[in-house]
Amino acid sequence: MFVNFQCDNVVDGSASAPVIQFKPPLYRQRYQFVKDLVDLHQPKKVADLGCGDTSLIRQLKVFPCIELLIGVDIDGDKLRWKGEKLAPVLGHFLQPRELNLTITLYCGSVVERDSRLLGLDLITCIELIEHLDSDDLARFPEVVFGYLSPSMVVISTPNSEFNPLFPAVTLRDSDHKFEWTRMEFQNWASHAANLYNYSVEFTGVGAPPAGAESVGFCTQIGVFRKNGGKAAESCVLEQHAYKVVFTASYPSLQQERFLRLVMVSEVSRQVESLRVRYLRRLKEQRDKELGNEPADTGPEAPMLCFGPAFTEVERDRIKKSPKPFCVGNKFFVPLKRLLAYPKLNRLCISEERMRSVIASSLILSCDGSAVVVEFHNSRNVKFEHR
């Protein structure tokens, strides 16, 4: 969206003269473009070249599909300072991701070859190329498209045709070595795409105001896709041109200890809910047989088995699973029943795998087919002493 001239900050925030203001701000529109692309294509391995203050990386790390996230920038001090914000916090341990995620920040030039960036699904270069001098710009396509050869590349750069709409703007940033017209960018991008077997589509963000549509988007974007899909990985000589500044691995359900914590917690919660519901049902049945009026027990407990939180498919799956049962003072909940509930079903593990994960923390039946708890005492977790 475009908003009229305002006495605010420049396109991305510097200067004091009246300038065009975008809503959302132009940098957010660029990031949103990348996020929409990630949401659509679900890449697993992503690198942001010229990552700067790591703002885009912080927004991409929430995508569950991404397992490797890399940032590269020439400013090592900034990466060290910003890297701390990318470290996992308590909430990530309490609710682990489904898939592993490793974030690594490298200090180095984007025109240097580093084999640790091979095999990527997506490389983003947001407002990067205009900061390269002529020699580095000449090397850039060979390194990114030729050597790294990812499945997809996104490059954004200022559209100089939009600049006359800004008051007294020659270059939008003092560090820009150039700013291209749409034709200049498309010629450069098309040549690189043809040379390295990519196709490229052009679009942009930051629409012009009414009456100035002919100048195009404020930021022009090229989306490059490798022809024939992902390039086959070949044996490449290991090269480490970059220096690791920061790295972090996030807890996930692919890691045994976190899978166990999550599964034991969810199984215990579900077993307790079923025990309480089973106990209430028996009490209601006895009261009915004795002709007693039902006691006023306050707000009704949530219907955990067939409540409104479940879809038709989930309710049907639960209904078809073995039901909990009671033998003496022992309450049995079949593992198949537990795996029918959505949270545990989404873990996509087998009954055998579930048994091996929870066996050291919960009491199982003799044949290992059910979790067993005291019917009138829910404290059934075995605490391990280590």
Domain residue extents for the chain: 2-250, 256-294+301-374
| pLDDT at res. 294 | 59
Higher pLDDT, 382 or 172: 172
| pLDDT at res. 305 | 42
Q: What percent helix, strand, coil does the chain show, rounded to 5?
A: 35, 20, 40
What's this model's pTM, rounded to 2 decimal places? Answer: 0.79
Confidence of residue 14 (pLDDT cuts 50, 70, 90): very low
Q: Residue 164 pLDDT more than 60? A: yes
Q: Residue 87 pLDDT more than 80? A: yes
- Does the domain spanning 2-250 belong to CATH 3.40.50.150? yes
Mean pLDDT of 137-166: 95
Confidence of residue 343 (pLDDT cuts 50, 70, 90): confident
Confidence of residue 203 (pLDDT cuts 50, 70, 90): very high
Beta strands in 7-100 (DSSP E): 19-22, 45-49, 68-73
Q: Residue 297 pLDDT more than 90? A: no
Gap between the Cα atoms of 214 and 20, Å rounded: 17
| pLDDT at res. 16 | 43
Gap between the Cα atoms of 59 and 82, Å rounded: 13
**Which DSSP state fits 261?**
H
Number of Cβ within 10 Å of residue 29's Cβ equals 20
Mean pLDDT of 309-316: 87
Q: What is the C-alpha radius of gyration for the chain, rounded to an integer number of angstroms?
A: 29
Gap between the Cα atoms of 131 and 66, Å rounded: 28
Gap between the Cα atoms of 150 and 147, Å rounded: 9
Gap between the Cα atoms of 24 and 35, Å rounded: 15
Mean pLDDT of 274-282: 90
Q: Which residue in the block uniquely carries the two structure tokens 């000589």?
A: 237
DSSP string, 176-242: -S--B-HHHHHHHHHHHHHHTTEEEEEEEESPPPTT-GGG--SEEEEEEEETTSSPPP--------S
DSSP string, 74-125: S-HHHHHHHHGGGS--HHHHHS-BSS-EEEEEEES-TTS--GGGTT-SEEEE
User: H/E element holding 156?
Assistant: strand 152-158
| pLDDT at res. 299 | 45
| pLDDT at res. 167 | 76
Nearest CA among 4, 26, 47 for reference residue 204? 26
Mean pLDDT of 334-342: 94
Q: What residues are paired with 247 via a beta bridge?
A: 104
| pLDDT at res. 166 | 81
| pLDDT at res. 79 | 94
| pLDDT at res. 64 | 96
| pLDDT at res. 168 | 66
